[in-house]
Amino acid sequence: MPYVLGNVAGLAFVMGTLVSGVRWLSTGRPPRLLEPTVARAQLWRDSRRPPVEPIPPVLLALELSRLAAHIRRVEEGNQPRQAERLMAARLAYDHALRDYCKAVDIAVPTAIRGLSREQRFHMESALIGAGHDW
């Protein structure tokens, strides 16, 4: 009988560990017992990383120009899966547009996915109004 209880306790421990591990992977929050250790490891890792240098706005303008030309080529082209290509190109353009606006201190909407046409228009207008071109 004690052998069976030991196996059940061991199985419960393994299952609890697996559930905690899956929860950590899915939410990014470690189990309570590991939080101090994980926090110290993250501080150590962050202290060893070099500081991130911002990308100059000139390079972001060049990237926006390149992506705008790519969007036009996709729209005019006749390649398969045009809708998916266009969606990916617009999403890349939106991310570059957000980065460019952040680099020159223009307000950026907090959209998780791509921008709406209206948001994109307002951001582009704000950039042009501030004297930036791409």
Same-domain pairing of 7 and 34: yes
Q: Count up the domains in the chain and report the number.
A: 2
Identify whether 69 is part of a domain: yes
Verify that 64 and 118 share a domain, yes or no: yes
In-domain check, residue 99: yes
* Residue 86 CB partners (closer than 8 Å, separation 6+): 71, 74, 75
- Domain check: are 71 and 44 in the same one? no
Same domain assignment for residues 62 and 44: no
Q: Would residue 134 count as lying in a domain?
A: no
Asked if 72 and 117 sit in the same domain, the reply is yes
Give me the domain span that covers residue 64: 57-129
Within the chain, what is the greatest distance between any pair of CA atoms?
A: 81
| In a shared domain, residues 125 and 63 | yes
pLDDT tens track for 9-21: 778 888 888 888 8
40 and 7 in a single domain? The answer is yes
Q: For the whole model, what pTM was predicted?
A: 0.64
Q: Cα(65)–Cα(109) distance, rounded to whole angstroms?
A: 21
Do both 33 and 64 map to the same domain?
Answer: no
User: Residue ranges of the alpha helices (H) in 1-134?
Assistant: 2-27, 35-48, 57-76, 82-103, 117-129
How far apart CA 21 and CA 114 sit, in angstroms, is 32
Per residue of the chain (134 residues), give pLDDT as tens: 555 556 777 788 888 888 888 888 888 888 888 899 999 999 999 999 998 888 999 999 999 999 999 999 999 999 999 999 999 999 999 999 999 999 999 989 877 778 889 999 999 999 999 999 88
Q: Is residue 111 part of a domain?
A: yes
> Is 104 inside a domain boundary?
yes
